Amino acid sequence: MSIVKRCIAEFIGTFWLVFGGCGSAVLAAAFTADAAKIGANTAFPLGIGLVGVSLAFGLTVMTMAYAIGHISGCHLNPAVSFGLWMGKRFPSSDLLPYIGSQVGGAILAAAALFIIAMGQPKYGLGPDGLAVNGFGELSPGGYSLLAAFIIEFVLTFMFLMIIMGATDRRAPQGFAPVAIGLGLTLIHLIGIPVTNVSVNPARSLGPALIVAIFGGHTLALSQVWLFWLAPILGGLAAGSLYLSVFSESSLEREQQAVETRL
């Protein structure tokens, strides 16, 4: 498959990830219907909440993994591309084209989501709009920079371990998208209160850029560096560990060492 076709797939896939995941948070997380219109008791809001948003992110990755996994590998995330590169499953020559496509898809998705959200007369694009990632003032739970860095590193590390293990040729075939999608769902269930969860530099940059351009709020954009640094480091650490400890070649070397001692 040509690099152009693979990059188009990554662009579309990352668009779906950001549009579906962030869109669920912006449009559906806390939605409550008017009781006068539906004749219902609004003590029970119709919003999907934290669990729904977490599931939405997982579903975007799972559906795209089945749709484009055979085309581009369905990275949708610069941290995943770096982690797979470190694990010697992705060529360095494809890193920049993939990352550029992922960032482009994320920005377009955030822009589309902004246009849709503005169709609601009461919507206002605040500094925390479009489900931006952040720490301190932008953290849903008010968590510190250090807490944000640690959780983004750990969650991305575990995400890459899931990806590399589930896509290993020794793993059960056909189930990788399910494991990866559920893994991302769990990651969001854990981390939304801390940073709104990134584990994906492109997902962080897209909404932050649109909020800065159209809302005039630059705080999220000024914090984006953390959501590039921590996930990429976490991805690199996981890729390195899987390659050195769990890869087929490392296990073969270990087996040969045991046989030699015997």
Contact at 8 Å (CB) between 170 and 249? no
Contact at 8 Å (CB) between 56 and 41? no
pLDDT tens digit string along 169-209?
999 999 999 999 999 999 999 999 999 999 999 999 999 99
Q: To the nearest 5 percent, what fractions of the chain are helix, strand and coil? A: 75, 0, 25
Q: Which H or E element spans position 209?
A: helix 201-215
What is the C-alpha to C-alpha distance for residues 11 and 66, in angstroms, rounded to an integer? 15
Residue ranges making up the domain that contains 212: 3-261
| CATH number reported for the structural domain that contains residue 132 in this entry | 1.20.1080.10
Q: Which of 102, 67, 55, 57 is nearest to 232 (CA)?
A: 102
- pLDDT, one tens digit for every residue, the chain (262 residues): 899 999 999 999 999 999 999 999 999 988 765 444 444 455 556 789 999 999 999 999 999 999 999 999 999 999 999 999 999 999 999 999 999 999 999 999 999 999 999 999 888 999 999 999 999 999 999 999 999 999 999 999 999 999 999 999 999 999 999 999 999 999 999 999 999 999 999 999 999 999 999 999 999 999 999 999 999 999 999 999 999 999 887 656 556 555 555 5
What DSSP assignment string belongs to 122-188? T----TTGGG---SGGGSTT---HHHHHHHHHHHHHHHHHHHHHHTSTTSPTT-HHHHHHHHHHHHH
Exposed/middle/buried for 27, CB within 10 Å: 0-12, 13-18, 19+? middle
Contact at 8 Å (CB) between 99 and 231? no
Q: Helices 201-215 and 95-117 meet at what angle, rounded to 10?
A: 40
What is the C-alpha to C-alpha distance for residues 237 and 82, in angstroms, rounded to an integer? 10
Q: What is the pLDDT of residue 45?
A: 64
Length of the chain: 262
Contact at 8 Å (CB) between 198 and 108? no
Q: How many independent structural domains does the chain possess?
A: 1
Q: What is the pLDDT of residue 36?
A: 42
